[in-house]
Amino acid sequence: MRSIFAAAGCADEEAGLIARELVGANLAGHDSHGVVRVPLYVDWMREGWVRAGQRAEVVTDGGAFVVLDGNEGFGQTIATEAVALGIERAGANGTCIVALRNSGHIGRVGAYAETALAAGLVSIHFVNVAGSPLVAPFGAVERRFSTAPFAVGIPLPERPVVLDFATSLVAEGKVQVASFGGRPLPPDALIGPDGMTSSDPHVLYGDYGPTDLRRPSGGDGAIRAFGEHKGSGLALMCELLAGAFTAGGCAGPLDGPRKGITNGMLSIYLSPAHFGTQAEFERIGREYLDWVLGARPSDPAAPVLAPGDPEAASREARLAEGVPLPVDTWAAIVRTAEGLGVPTPA
Ligand code: NAD
């Protein structure tokens, strides 16, 4: 993966960062945000929709808060810089708010919450995708929200908690994975213009061949917001905070065709040490979490899990056994590599 991005024009360090984050998403079990994205990213680079070698530019520096512009650079570079700045400021002052706009696709948002956790910080992230309406609000059949993810990281001792999800019923990448023959979608994940729910990726992408790029402009249906009116409301808040408040733009209205993925992210970093509650926070929080997890499961074979547990379990298993990929995903990556003259393993 690193060789592909280097051949496509990224400096070696950036190519490595992109590869590491994508494979990291596969390891965490989120194949939707893993190497399945490689052909699309390379395509977007060619189109000029994402740019190598960019830095997060400071637009406003208020000390306790910072506004950053990502200049359409690779999200793996830009968000990494934004998170590092938030961690540094919160480490110094106890809290920091970072409003990031115009970043290329930042991928799995939980990865940034995990970075903050490693520095002992609570972090809260509202994210949107500017100019990418894919999701129908509660009660609608037309696309109005992006998949607008939301993430929170809580640094409890030995058992950090990371909640990280798209506010759509499924992330778009999961529709991609299903379209490549991977895990099928829930039966009510999508909605057609006729108001009928569906699990068929063609509702979102229209017609496609086995290794074709999947383009959401091809279909006339939508992904549904999760959690009925409540999830739909959270999606709206992600759009307003990550899209409007950062001034990067909401999912629409569109003034042109969708161009790759441009993320906005409003992040809040909190240092329990500075708030003076660290010891109680850790004790009470850990005791409470253990009590929550001790609830009698409805299925005796499936213990109650904390957010972040499935990712940790997947990481352990896949680091040991490798990352399985659908044949068509691998074929699309090989085709991209060959197009760039990068040798691929048999
Ligand atoms: P998902 O539906 O798999 O939900 C994941 C969350 O639920 C995690 O916090 C996980 O730990 C928790 N979870 C899963 N099973 C659980 C269980 N049994 N008990 C308790 N908790 C459980 O995730 P998703 O909505 O498909 O999102 C996938 C990824 O897509 C996320 O990493 C998200 O950040 C990313 N995403 C990114 C963008 C972007 O524009 N950058 C857009 C959308 C989604």
Which atom from ligand 1 is nearest to the alpha carbon of 162? 9
Residue 59 confidence (pLDDT) = 98
The length of the chain in residues reads 346
Which atom from ligand 1 is nearest to the alpha carbon of 306? 20
- Flag whether pLDDT at 32 surpasses 90: no
**Separation of CA 141 and ligand 1 centre (Å):** 23
Q: What residue has token string 């908690």?
A: 161
Mean pLDDT of 205-215: 90
Contact at 8 Å (CB) between 184 and 202? no
Is there an atom of ligand 1 within 6 Å of 129 CB?
yes
For the chain, list the domains and their CATH numbers. 2-278 (3.30.1370.60)
Q: What residue has token string 């044949």?
A: 327
Residue 205 confidence (pLDDT) = 96
Residue 206 confidence (pLDDT) = 96
Residue-wise pLDDT for 238-283, tens only, equals 999 999 999 999 999 987 777 789 999 999 999 999 999 999 999 9
Residue-wise pLDDT for 130-141, tens only, equals 999 999 999 999
Q: What is the mean pLDDT of the chain?
A: 96
**Separation of CA 186 and ligand 1 centre (Å):** 15
Q: Of 75, 89, 84, 90, nearest to 248 (Cα)?
A: 75
Residue-wise pLDDT for 325-338, tens only, equals 989 889 999 999 99
**Separation of CA 276 and ligand 1 centre (Å):** 31
Residue 63 confidence (pLDDT) = 96
Predicted TM-score of the model (pTM):
0.96
Confidence tier at 151 by pLDDT (50, 70, 90): very high
Mean pLDDT of 65-87: 98
Cβ neighbours of residue 18 closer than 8 Å, sequence gap 6 or more: 1, 2, 5, 10, 41, 74, 76, 77
Alpha-helix residue ranges (DSSP H) falling in the chain = 2-8, 12-27, 38-47, 75-93, 110-118, 172-179, 202-205, 228-238, 272-275, 278-293, 309-321, 327-339
- Flag whether pLDDT at 305 surpasses 80: yes
Reduced to 3 states (helix: H, G, I; strand: E, B; else coil), residue 182 is: coil
**Separation of CA 166 and ligand 1 centre (Å):** 6
Is there an atom of ligand 1 within 6 Å of 30 CB?
yes
CA-nearest residue, atom 2 of ligand 1: 165
Q: CB count, 10 Å around CB of 289? A: 15
